[in-house]
Structure 1
Amino acid sequence: MLAYPLGDALYLNVTSGCTLACTFCPKIRDDDFTVGGFDLRLARNPDADEVWRAIQAVGLEGRSEVCFTGFGEPTRRLEVVLEIARRLRAAGARRIRLDTDGLANLREGRDVVAELAAAGVGAVSVSLNAPDAAAYARICPSRYGEAAYDAVKAFLRAAVGVIPDVAASAVAMPGVSEAACRAVAESLGARFRWRPYDRVGRIPSSAGSARVG
């Protein structure tokens, strides 16, 4: 599934590959790639034209936003994200958002934040997930170790300077302090989101749908 609607938003799933192996992720923990009834497991990475055809099949009319997210890190397909963002902006998408681990600059070896902003990305949500480098490396292990945490914070600082809406999120893992995570996020100039543990995607409510993942 490359483009999946939930509520009034459209979500784009451009890869199943990740930079991190987060301990709370259903993909890692349970081999479960399902969100909102949609199977997001991809057998291969799609190109920009394939993603665009999927967007057209679902439609943009009435969408409050289009968001790059899924069970992979979108910026691992950076050129696809940039191309699709440009097409979405040209097509009149109301809001283009990126959910990311914030490690693109470290992984790509350059600052990509300005490129995302220039392509039309107007909102980013960065997975902070911890109040310090040691906790981050434990919860979100990667080949970068504790160095990843400073890279995430640097990405947030850069994004605050050029992207209108910047959020830092943390999953409510046992033993992780909401207050401490919030303090880090706000010190970087980002607003903070505390996400429920063991829940992804949108959940139904009496008032409609609320995205929590």
Structure 2
Amino acid sequence: MIVYATHAGGKYLPLEESLRVQPEGRRNLYVNITNRCNCACTFCLRTMKHMAEQSTLWLKREPTVAEVERALDEVPWEYIKEVVFCGFGEPTMRLDDLLTLLHYVKKTHPDLPTRLNTNGLGELENGRVFAADFKGILDTVSISLNASNAQRYYELTRAKFGEKSYEAMLTFAEHCKPYVPHVVLTIVDHVEGPDEIARCKAICEQRGLTLRVRPYEDS
């Protein structure tokens, strides 16, 4: 699926089915543009290839920008409250296309908030600082913090850039602060215990960032 909605129990549903299940109320629109990721997190479904390919989010091929725009044009926008770029892979693996699509959403639906869910390694992946490109087109960036130190972060994420990924991720969050109104770091509940979560909260407080504890979903 290129665009989808989420429902209780970690279900990913096409919008038509989402509206049958829940005909009333507005919901988030998720935009899925790639399977590729520069992490292989131990708690992620995509690490189990046979399960990943059975997921409705697994793309047989990456959609073109035009194909994503056509999918967006067909959305029943009266039911949408936020547009979130978050699929089976890491959206910043397609940075230029991501920026183009964010511009498209803001041009066609300027009043809807936009969000990017990311591992925060886009600067390492693309070899440049690009947070300023988000100005005016991105309202929230949600970055996976995952751990309170570089060693534990690498153990969990197995990021292709090694332990330097941790500081790069935090630096990316700080780069976003002047350009993105809401910068949020996340950690997954049940993957780490309360002591580790407390340490993560302290790190975010020191850097003026917000931490959100995400519920673990195994579906």
TM range (shorter): 0.7 to 0.9
Contact 2:154 2:163 in 1 (8 A): yes
Match of 1:206 in 2: none
Q: Please state how far the C-alpha of 1:199 moved relative to its aligned partner.
A: 4.4
Match of 1:205 in 2: none
Specify which of 170, 176, 181 is matched with residue 200 of structure 2: 181
Question: Structure 2: 5+ residue runs without aligned partners?
Answer: 7-25
Contact 2:153 2:163 in 1 (8 A): yes
Equivalent residue letter for 1:89: K
Deviation per residue, 1:101-138 (Å, 9 max, x gap) = 101111111111111225x0111000010000000000
Partners of 2:177 and 2:171 lie apart in 1 by 10
Match of 1:155 in 2: 172
Deviation per residue, 1:3-31 (Å, 9 max, x gap) = 11236110000000001000000111464
SS in 1 for 2:205: helix
Contact 1:160 1:189 in 2 (8 A): no
Specify which of 160, 185, 188 is matched with residue 168 of structure 1: 185
Partners of 2:52 and 2:28 lie apart in 1 by 19
SS in 1 for 2:167: helix
Deviation per residue, 1:40-84 (Å, 9 max, x gap) = 001111111111111122232331110000110001011111111
Q: Please state how far the C-alpha of 1:188 moved relative to its aligned partner.
A: 2.1
Any residues of structure 2 matched to 1:30-179 within 5 Å, and which?
31-33=50-52, 39-93=56-110, 94-118=112-136, 120-172=137-189, 173-175=191-193, 177-179=196-198
Partners of 2:59 and 2:117 lie apart in 1 by 18
Contact 1:117 1:163 in 2 (8 A): yes
Equivalent residue letter for 1:137: Y
SS in 1 for 2:72: helix
Contact 1:24 1:198 in 2 (8 A): no
Partners of 1:83 and 1:59 lie apart in 2 by 21
How many equivalent pairs are there? 197
Match of 1:28 in 2: 47
Partners of 2:109 and 2:39 lie apart in 1 by 33
Structure number having the greater helix percentage: 2
